[in-house]
Amino acid sequence: MTLSGSLSATVADGTVEFRYEVTNDGDEPVELQFSNAQTHDVVVFEDGEEVWSFAAGRMFAQMLQSEAWAPGESSSYGATWADAPSGEYEARAWLAANDADAEAATSFSV
């Protein structure tokens, strides 16, 4: 598996916008299988404790999906944490695919 991920967090007026970018760095196409409509998650930790998650407050269509990525192809996913309290945080993002996670992390403060 040749997927790499990167995560950025932009803070403005207590709202955190996450952008999670995943790229196929390899020379071969990558096919990913998803169990449902969830493609990714972004989870925020404070002192190692989970304080927010993109997926935890949502539900998803329960249909299998598979998607192919050409070499060099990338995709970008967003998530928004509104009304974030002040603090120092670490965020982690990963793909919800059955066979890849392309995990990425970033630190930020509100």
State the residues that interact with other proteins by CB under 8 A: 32, 34-39, 55-65, 67-69, 73, 75, 77
Q: With respect to other proteins, which residue has the nearer C-beta, 39 or 92?
A: 39
Min dist CB 97 to other proteins, Å, is 9
- Nearest CA among 72, 67, 71, 70 for reference residue 95: 67
Q: With respect to other proteins, which residue has the nearer C-beta, 58 or 109?
A: 58
The answer for residues whose C-beta is within 8 angstroms of residue 108's C-beta and 6 or more apart is: 9, 11, 16, 89, 91
Residue 41 vs residues 12, 15, 27, 101: alpha-carbon distances, Å: 21, 17, 26, 10
Min dist CB 88 to other proteins, Å, is 26
Min dist CB 46 to other proteins, Å, is 19
Min dist CB 109 to other proteins, Å, is 26
- Nearest CA among 68, 78, 16 for reference residue 41: 78
Q: With respect to other proteins, which residue has the nearer C-beta, 10 or 76?
A: 76
Q: Which residues pair with 45 in a beta bridge?
A: 50, 90
Q: With respect to other proteins, which residue has the nearer C-beta, 12 or 63?
A: 63
